[in-house]
Homo-oligomer: A and B are copies of this chain.
Amino acid sequence: MRIVVLAGGIGGARFLRGLKKAAPDADITVIGNTGDDIHLFGLKVCPDLDTVMYTLGGGINEEQGWGRTDETFKVKEELAAYGVGPEWFGLGDRDFATHIVRTQMLGAGYPLSAVTQALCERWQPGVRLIPMSDDRVETHVAVTLDGEQKAVHFQEYWVRLRASVDAHAIVPVGAEQAKPAPGVLEAIAEADVVLFPPSNPVVSVGTILAVPGIREAIADAGVPVVGLSPIVGDAPVRGMADKVLAAVGVETTAAAVAEHYGSGLLDGWLVDSVDAGVVERVESAGIRCRAIPLMMTDVDAAAEMARAALALASEVRA
């Protein structure tokens, strides 16, 4: 079975770990969000790709869900001693090596997809990880700060400001001109099922879908497309998705997110058991819906969610 997964960071990575356990023989291609990539200290940092790579490769800091395990912060401390920031972005020493290798390879002319493949040769994530695009796409968030309208990088909004101010708009800068990375459209065309993990529907899955050609390829693939709600009981399971959902005019409910994806794209939707009441509403929008426990408390729980997603896909297919 060939599975394509559109993944953001922590939610996507943890779901993928469950999926690998649920479908150990599947051929899994992960299309990773690069809209939250950022240049820091002259280095190219790809938080979502790295979170997937570290999580599946056994190098993740389990507790925080991002960054490396057994991490130290000497480089960052020293940069701060030089007065070089930002200090709000937590790059550890082990993590720095990844960004140094990536930056050096990009500088030598390799596209990000080839660089990601090279990094994965070390981590052996057990999936094929492809960035959504080799072109630069950078998610910016329009906010009002100190009475002034301005656009900040997504990481600045998310990490520095902790989404404490309203987002007026979310703009994936460069997306319109971006091309899907080599292998992305081919993987979708050959997929037996496409999954949207419980990742952020706006700044993770939404950004991937904003690359021209990807949404169309998924809609046209003629295979089940099944998603899992990142909203449980009208609140994001993790992160501050309510802020970015509000920016695109979507209420923070499991049903509203399904409708946001729409029946033209989505065939099946899993909501949490606490949201069983919305199943009827989602199905009336033309999307098959089931309610199951959606908290990824451990790998087994994530595997159970993956099994339910694949079962719903089979149901849709039949």
Contacts and interface: CB of A to CB of B under 8 A. Distances in A.
Interface of A: 41-43, 72, 74-79, 81-84, 93-94, 96-98, 100-101, 103-104, 107, 119, 122
B74 A94 contact: yes
A75 B94 CA distance: 5
Q: Which residue, A43, A96, A119, has most C-beta atoms of chain B within 10 A?
A: A96
A93 B81 contact: no
A97 B82 contact: yes
Given A74-B97, A78-B93, 4 more contacts: A75-B93, A75-B96, A81-B97, A82-B98
A101 to B, nearest CB: 5
Nearest to A92: B74
A96 B81 CA distance: 13
A107 B74 CA distance: 23
A82 B122 contact: yes
Given A74-B93, A93-B72, A42 B81 contact: no
Contacts of A77: 94, 97
A98 B81 CA distance: 10
Contacts of A76: 97
The 3 closest A-B pairs by CB, nearest first: A78-B97, A42-B104, A74-B93
B81 A122 contact: yes
Nearest to A71: B74
Q: Per DSSP, are chain A's interface residues mostly helix, strand or loop, or mixed? A: helix
Nearest to A106: B42
Total copies of the chain: 2
A187 B94 CA distance: 42
B97 A75 contact: yes
A79 B97 contact: yes
Contact of A101 (B82, B93, B94): B82
A22 to B, nearest CB: 29
Contacts of A104: 41-42, 84
A38 to B, nearest CB: 14
A74 B103 CA distance: 18
A78 B98 contact: yes
Nearest to A118: B82
A167 to B, nearest CB: 29
A83 B122 contact: yes
A75 B77 CA distance: 14
Contacts of A93: 72, 74-75, 78, 93
